[in-house]
Amino acid sequence: MKAKLFLVLMLVSGMGSAREPGVAMQRVLPFPIFETQLENGLNVVTVPYNSPGVAAFYIVMRVGSREEVEPGKTGFAHFFEHMMFRGTEKYPKEKYSEELKAIGASANANTWLDRTVYHMTGNASMLDKMFELEADRFMNLKYSMQDFKTEAGAVKGEYTKNFSNPMMKLYESYADTAFVNHTYSHTTMGFIEDIIDMPNQYEYSTVFFERFYRPEYATIIVVGDVNQDNVVGMAKKYFGKWERGSYQATIPVEPAQNELKRVHMKVDNYPAQLVLSYKAPGFIDTSREAAALSLLASVIGSEKSPLYKKLVLEERKVRSFDATYFFTRDPFLFFIDVAMVNEDDLQYVKDEIDKYVREIIKKPVSKEFLEQIKSRLKYSLAMRMDSPDAIANTLSYFTWVTGDPQSVNKFYNTLKSITGGEVAAVAEKYLKPERLTLATISSSETQTIK
Amino acid sequence: MKTTVKYLAGLMLAVLCSAAAVNAQNVRPEHKELIKKMQAEEAAKLKKAEEERKIENPTGDDATDQDVHSKVGGDEKYIMLPIPGSGKIVLKYMFLNGSASDPGGLEGLTYLTASLMAEGGTKKMTSTQVKDFLYPMAARTSASIDKEAVVFTFEFHKDHAEKVYPVISSLVYEPRFGQDDFERLKSNQQNYVDEVIKASSDEHYSKMALEERLFRNTTYQHLKQGYSQSIRSLTLEEVKAHYKGFFTQNNLIIGIAGDYTGGFAKTVENDKAKLPNEYPPKPDFVHPEMPEGLQIEIIAKEGALGAAIYTGTPLQATRAEDDFAALMIANSWLGEHRKSYSRLYQKIRQQRSMNYGDYSYIEWYEKGGQNMLPLPGVPRSLNYFSIWIRPVQTAAGLNKQIADQPAGMPADKDAEQDAGNDVEAGPESQSREIEYGHAYFALRMAIREMDKLINEGMSAEDFELTRQFLTSYMKLYVQTPEKQLGFLMDSRYYGRKDYLAEMENLFEGLNLEDVNNAMRQYWYTQRMHVAIVTDAAEAEALAESMRGGEPSPMIYSPALREVLSKEILAEDEEVSAYPLEIVNVQVTPSELFFKEPLD
């Protein structure tokens, strides 16, 4: 279920100072993370890893749909990600494609609430060429009106593809309901009206590039068969002249939610869905609340959870069940999402969730249960880190949320000492009806649960 | 007893000739008793033949035709890939039976059996206890089920090997098969086929609908999850019998990779003897008939936002043939998966923004919507060439877009003329109510590009660049120990030691003529099945236009049209009337798909 919700939410689609990783902190990642900040503010992260001949090259831009603050411009960060493949004077799109093909890398990009990530994984001996190509387009992007308008159509095609899934429509609807001011109210794809209008936004696209495609928004992460000196040398050579910008979007502050909100979609011939989304705080790597909310998600929605066992395995009233606390820059949502066997049980399942939450608030979960969750999180991470791409991807996540790739180690350090009492406290504080947006899909015309 | 007979009947069906398989695929309730009788007789014959073989050859070592797949050598069924220092261990059990082994009328049986093995606990532990036990160690279990193989993959930290192995191996050797888990997993499987597949992703739906048509009357036809009707009839007894009959030690390749000890590897190898020493019947892998011309199936779905298109035609080559290397280069140039520099992508998406992407394939590609690189564990002996055209605009979408951006709104008249809007099908012709969207044009465009490639051949520069690309790119298929092991195991299936390394060697020996000849030998453009999932409101109009072979002018929004080059618009003209050898166009309501085999 996590995969389902995650897919729906994730769209889509000179001289520097080097510093060693903190030695006082125990690392959950068994590799050193080397960082160098160039004079222009560009952060360069290198993680040498035993992957003969292979390297992953990521550029994390801390701009996503969160930064889309102007009316009529929703979806623009994602659209702009598409435009980044439309070439420069030195490498027009055909030449760029040819060069990319010659590298033989797996390359793509994706956009979400807080970030746009560009990535290439390929032959480590081609790293210099990767740097050259990326620096050229990040500094000198140039596309024609024809290319701009054509790419807008491809974005509409992506919308068409994604929105054949009712869950995507539901998410679009409850995000818009849950948030009244903040830009998390729209999906990363953007509203369809704005997507249709994209071909007319050429001028704005140049403004967008000038504002955000600047070194202070960027972190380069290179993992694999590389060493720090070479990586930093290439970064300076190709990105050293990238000029700082000065723009900072003013993100609207979301007022406190004071009442339960509801969203319902009537869909026939589709399993009934229940999504409980509670307003939750943004992620801070040393925040005990953020760590406790991560554990709370497993206490509720993991296969170890008594509630999961009851609803999925024993009573078989639910097909899939999960809870997720997403790491975001600003306050977002804590999700509990359920795919039902029978829509007549929607009320029962909602009541069971409420009952379980009350129980874990009243009587905090055992230390043993919590330790098992912590153990799983630790081993899951360790086992996932088995390729340059996987490591770079994990580091990019923490980088776009906090700006600091070391956050991965800080977060897991914080996690270790969280108690059942702290988990109960965040459940009590955040899983309140007045913080909830209750979303359902069923064959009924209206929402049928209290 | 009833279920045993029914099951044995199913076993037999899997080994019948193709003509018998036709009957099996079309099994109806009134025929069941007769078929059961035939099946029981055939099963008895099979059993007798089996006994005789055992008497003649008790070990079965050199009896290649008894093996489930003749290309897998008896000494190559245990693949070891030590990676000291990696910290984790990957263990794979690849059973060489998949949904193609489902008996007629019991489609979905392999899927349910494998799901229960992976998710249903062991003789000693319930599913809940297994999940509880594995949870803190984050040991991962998964099952991949395809037409000819079921692969169980287990990944765990080396520190936990001694604790984890007895449990996970018991999932394979001593599955619990409890009634509760059976009901739960069967219900999920039923729901997937009844509802989810048609409502979650139209492009995946079109891919599955294509297979239903392309493999008609073969053991490959049905969804691996089965039909609505067949799943409903599955019983736990049939699952148990299927497990005993097919998940045997002679049907298994084991692979181990990572940070394991020699003793551990030995235990894994020896434990294989816990499975029955039987030889399961092998389904009859008969290539589907080549279609006459283009056979178009339009699936009419209420409210579909786009038209999702998949085309396919049988391909008489797999990774086992050396010619596959040449086809890889041709296909990569034409439509490499998720690559912007392939021809189809450039023509349909990049130049015309008709959709999100367009690709071609020379073998099955698992979960293409979610993966940039191919997954292992889905080997097939029946291949087909396919083109995936991601959803294009429907009539409703285009009408709305044009209404929202009326002609002339942002247009500069001079620029419009410069851009070549003096060709037909310009803004004036677009003022009409559009009856169907881009599907027809997109299909023409894709087939025309493929025709051009075959007829004109690839250029020497493109050949060299594509070969260079693939030589580097294929190394990325195996970035993790799990992928390395998986591709090695697949290699054995195709009778190769290391498919990726061997393809690289073959690339070196290829020249341009080899590639051009391979395309001409193996590819057919005007003999294809086409599945289009689209809005029911445009289905009939689209079908009627295709039946009449009418031109399909390209329709752009005014905002886009005004900036397109003369070359593109002129090419559109040619594409819009490109001759297609359409022989049959059929409109099928979406609700009829996957209920039972379609005629």
Instruction: Write the DSSP string, A213-226.
Output: SSGGGEEEEEEES-
| B563·A146 Cβ contact <8 A | yes
| B475·A123 Cβ contact <8 A | yes
**Chain B partners within 8 Å of A272 (Cβ):** none
Nearest CA in chain A to B403: A196
pLDDT over 90 percentage in chain A:
89
Q: Name residues 386-445 of chain B within 8 A of A (Cβ).
A: 390-393, 397, 400-401, 404-405, 410
pLDDT at position B283, please? 86
Considering only the beta carbons, identify the residue of B135, B304, B355 that sits closest to A376. Answer: B135
Instruction: Report yes or no on A382 lying in a domain.
Output: no
- Quote the DSSP letter at residue A313: I
Task: Tell me the two tokens of residue B307.
Answer: 């038209």
Considering only the beta carbons, identify the residue of B88, B131, B194 that sits closest to A386. Answer: B88
**Chain B partners within 8 Å of A7 (Cβ):** 370
Considering only the beta carbons, identify the residue of A149, A152, A158 that sits closest to B356. Answer: A158
- Quote the DSSP letter at residue B196: I
Task: Tell me the two tokens of residue B8.
Answer: 């044995």
| B391·A164 Cβ contact <8 A | yes
Residue A166 C-alpha, separation from nearest chain B C-alpha, in angstroms: 7
Last residue of a domain, one of A204, A239, A274: A239
Radius of gyration of chain A (CA): 23
pLDDT at position B48, please? 57
Q: Does B155 touch chain A (CB under 8 A)?
A: yes
Instruction: Report yes or no on A251 lying in a domain.
Output: no
Distances (CA, A) of A183 to A68, A117, A186, A403, B172: 7, 19, 6, 20, 49
pLDDT at position B320, please? 97
pLDDT at position B400, please? 84
Other C-beta atoms lying within 10 Å of the C-beta of residue B70? 11
Q: Does A266 touch chain B (CB under 8 A)?
A: no
Nearest CA in chain B to A162: B201
Instruction: Report yes or no on A144 lying in a domain.
Output: yes
- Quick one: A230 and A273 in the same domain? no
- Quick one: A73 and A130 in the same domain? yes
Task: Tell me the two tokens of residue A118.
Answer: 């560009």
Considering only the beta carbons, identify the residue of A51, A121, A270 that sits closest to B195. Answer: A270
Q: Are A179 and A261 in contact (CB under 8 A)?
A: no
Given a cut of 50, whether residue B27 has pLDDT beyond it is no
In tens, the pLDDT along B68-111 reads 233 333 347 999 999 998 899 999 999 999 999 999 999 999 99
pLDDT at position A11, please? 41
Domains of chain B: 2-274 (3.30.830.10), 294-590 (3.30.830.10)
**Chain A partners within 8 Å of B306 (Cβ):** 157, 160-161, 164
Residue B572 C-alpha, separation from nearest chain A C-alpha, in angstroms: 15
Q: Does B339 touch chain A (CB under 8 A)?
A: yes
Given a cut of 80, whether residue B590 has pLDDT beyond it is yes
Residue B505, C-beta contacts closer than 8 angstroms, at least 6 positions apart: none
| A157·B306 Cβ contact <8 A | yes
Task: Tell me the two tokens of residue B227.
Answer: 């039909």
Using alpha carbons, select from A329, A257, A319, A260 the residue that is nearest to residue A290: A329
Q: Does A207 touch chain B (CB under 8 A)?
A: no
Query: What band does B560 get if pLDDT is binned at 50, 70 and 90?
Result: confident
- Quote the DSSP letter at residue A311: I
Residue with more model confidence, B227 or B421: B227
**Chain B partners within 8 Å of A161 (Cβ):** 201-203, 306, 355-356, 390-391
Task: Tell me the two tokens of residue A86.
Answer: 């439309």
Residues A290 and A415: their CA atoms lie apart, in Å, by 9
Residues B61 and B70: their CA atoms lie apart, in Å, by 12
Other C-beta atoms lying within 10 Å of the C-beta of residue B276? 16
Nearest CA in chain A to B410: A200
Pairing state between β A116-123 and A106-111: antiparallel
Q: Are B10 and B101 in contact (CB under 8 A)?
A: no
In tens, the pLDDT along B464-508 reads 999 999 999 999 999 999 999 999 999 999 999 999 999 999 999
Residue A197 C-alpha, separation from nearest chain B C-alpha, in angstroms: 8
pLDDT at position B282, please? 85
| B340·A379 Cβ contact <8 A | no
- Quote the DSSP letter at residue A438: E
- Quick one: A191 and A81 in the same domain? yes
Task: Tell me the two tokens of residue B560.
Answer: 């886009």
Residue B137 C-alpha, separation from nearest chain A C-alpha, in angstroms: 6
Q: Does A309 touch chain B (CB under 8 A)?
A: yes
DSSP lists the bridge partners of residue B163 as none
| A157·B87 Cβ contact <8 A | no
Query: What band does B553 get if pLDDT is binned at 50, 70 and 90?
Result: very high
Q: Name residues 393-422 of chain A within 8 A of B (Cβ).
A: none
Given a cut of 60, whether residue B138 has pLDDT beyond it is yes
Residue A188, C-beta contacts closer than 8 angstroms, at least 6 positions apart: A11, A12, A64, A65, A75, A77, A78, A111, A112, A113
- Quick one: A214 and A274 in the same domain? no
- Quick one: A272 and A304 in the same domain? yes
Q: Does A449 touch chain B (CB under 8 A)?
A: no
Residue A129, C-beta contacts closer than 8 angstroms, at least 6 positions apart: A99, A103
Pairing state between β B294-301 and B582-589: parallel
Average pLDDT for runs of 10 along chain A of length 450 = 44 41 59 96 97 96 98 96 96 92 94 97 96 98 94 90 92 97 97 92 96 98 97 98 97 97 96 98 97 98 97 96 97 98 98 98 97 96 93 97 96 96 98 98 95
Report the complex ipTM: 0.92
Instruction: Report yes or no on A303 lying in a domain.
Output: yes
Q: Name residues 71-100 of chain B within 8 A of A (Cβ).
A: 85-88
Q: What angle do CA B562, B565, B566 make, to 5 degrees?
A: 105
| B465·A341 Cβ contact <8 A | no
Residue B352, C-beta contacts closer than 8 angstroms, at least 6 positions apart: A150, A153, B445, B554, B556, B568, B572
Q: Are B588 and B438 in contact (CB under 8 A)?
A: no
DSSP secondary structure, B478-539, as one string: G-SHHHHHHHHHHHHHTT-S-HHHHHHHHHHH--HHHHHHHHHHH--SSSEEEEEEEEHHHH
pLDDT over 90 percentage in chain B:
78
- Quick one: A58 and A112 in the same domain? yes
Tell me if residue A24 falls in helix, strand or coil: coil
Using alpha carbons, select from B313, B268, B318 the residue that is nearest to residue B289: B313
**Chain B partners within 8 Å of A104 (Cβ):** 468-473
Nearest CA in chain A to B482: A386
Instruction: Report yes or no on A350 lying in a domain.
Output: yes
Instruction: Report yes or no on A177 lying in a domain.
Output: yes
Buried b (16+ CB within 10 A) or exposed e, B324-360: bbbbbbbbbbbbbbbbbbbbbbbbbbbbbbbbbbbbb
Q: Does A302 touch chain B (CB under 8 A)?
A: yes
Q: Are A391 and A382 in contact (CB under 8 A)?
A: no
Residues B590 and A269: their CA atoms lie apart, in Å, by 12
**Chain A partners within 8 Å of B370 (Cβ):** 7
pLDDT at position B97, please? 95
Considering only the beta carbons, identify the residue of B188, B350, B352 that sits closest to A319. Answer: B188
**Chain B partners within 8 Å of A105 (Cβ):** 472-473, 476
In tens, the pLDDT along B268-320 reads 999 999 999 999 988 888 899 999 999 999 999 999 999 999 999 999 999 99
Last residue of a domain, one of A239, A272, A289: A239
pLDDT at position B47, please? 56
Using alpha carbons, select from B472, B304, B465 the residue that is nearest to residue B394: B304
- Within B72-160, residue ranges assigned H as helices are 109-119, 127-134
Residue with more model confidence, A425 or B408: A425
In tens, the pLDDT along A57-96 reads 999 999 999 999 999 999 999 999 999 999 999 999 999 9
Residues B296 and B289: their CA atoms lie apart, in Å, by 15
Residue B102, C-beta contacts closer than 8 angstroms, at least 6 positions apart: B10, B14, B108, B109, B110, B219, B222, B226, B230
Q: Does A152 touch chain B (CB under 8 A)?
A: yes
Instruction: Report yes or no on A371 lying in a domain.
Output: no
| A150·B350 Cβ contact <8 A | yes
Q: Are B427 and B408 in contact (CB under 8 A)?
A: yes
With tokens 């092991």, the residue in question is: B485
Residues A187 and A194: their CA atoms lie apart, in Å, by 12
Residue A140, C-beta contacts closer than 8 angstroms, at least 6 positions apart: A88, A89, A90
Q: Name residues 527-586 of chain B within 8 A of A (Cβ).
A: 557, 559-560, 563-565
- Quick one: A311 and A210 in the same domain? no
Interface probe, candidates A5, A367, A386, chain B, greatest B C-beta count within 10 A: A386
Tell me, what CATH number does A345's domain have?
3.30.830.10
With tokens 């250029």, the residue in question is: B459
Q: What is the mean pLDDT of residues B174-182?
A: 97
Buried b (16+ CB within 10 A) or exposed e, B231-249: bebbbbbbbbbbbebbbbb
Nearest CA in chain A to B400: A196
Interface probe, candidates A148, A161, A170, A377, chain B, greatest B C-beta count within 10 A: A161
| B305·A164 Cβ contact <8 A | yes
Q: Does A110 touch chain B (CB under 8 A)?
A: no
pLDDT at position A388, please? 97
Least confident of B24-33, B311-320, B435-444: B24-33
* Amino acid at site B595: K
Residues A70 and B109: their CA atoms lie apart, in Å, by 54
Range of A164's domain?
2-239
- Quick one: A135 and A268 in the same domain? no
pLDDT at position B90, please? 98
Q: Does B158 touch chain A (CB under 8 A)?
A: no
DSSP secondary structure, B309-356, as one string: EEEEEEES--TTSTHHHHHHHHHHHHH-TT-TTSHHIIIIIITT--SS
- Quote the DSSP letter at residue A378: H
Q: Provide the number of structural domains found in chain A.
A: 2
Task: Tell me the two tokens of residue B127.
Answer: 């599913």
Given a cut of 70, whether residue B33 has pLDDT beyond it is no
Using alpha carbons, select from A281, A267, A316, A302 the residue that is nearest to residue A375: A302
Instruction: Report yes or no on A379 lying in a domain.
Output: no
Q: Are A328 and A282 in contact (CB under 8 A)?
A: yes
Using alpha carbons, select from B455, B436, B442 the residue that is nearest to residue B534: B436
CA atoms within 13 Å, Cβ hemisphere of B301: 28
**Chain A partners within 8 Å of B476 (Cβ):** 54, 105-106, 121-122
Task: Tell me the two tokens of residue A421.
Answer: 């009492």
DSSP secondary structure, B206-254, as one string: HHHHHHHHHTTTSTT-S-TT--HHHHHH--HHHHHHHHHHHS-GGGEEE
pLDDT at position A164, please? 85
Given a cut of 90, whether residue B32 has pLDDT beyond it is no
- Quick one: A227 and A269 in the same domain? no
Other C-beta atoms lying within 10 Å of the C-beta of residue A212? 23
- Quick one: A187 and A330 in the same domain? no
Average pLDDT score over chain B: 86
B85: left (phi over 0), alpha (psi -120 to 50) or beta: left
| A379·B354 Cβ contact <8 A | no
Q: Are B527 and B291 in contact (CB under 8 A)?
A: yes
Q: Name residues 201-240 of chain B within 8 A of A (Cβ).
A: 201-203
- Quick one: A58 and A207 in the same domain? yes
- Quick one: A15 and A153 in the same domain? yes
pLDDT over 70 percentage in chain B:
83
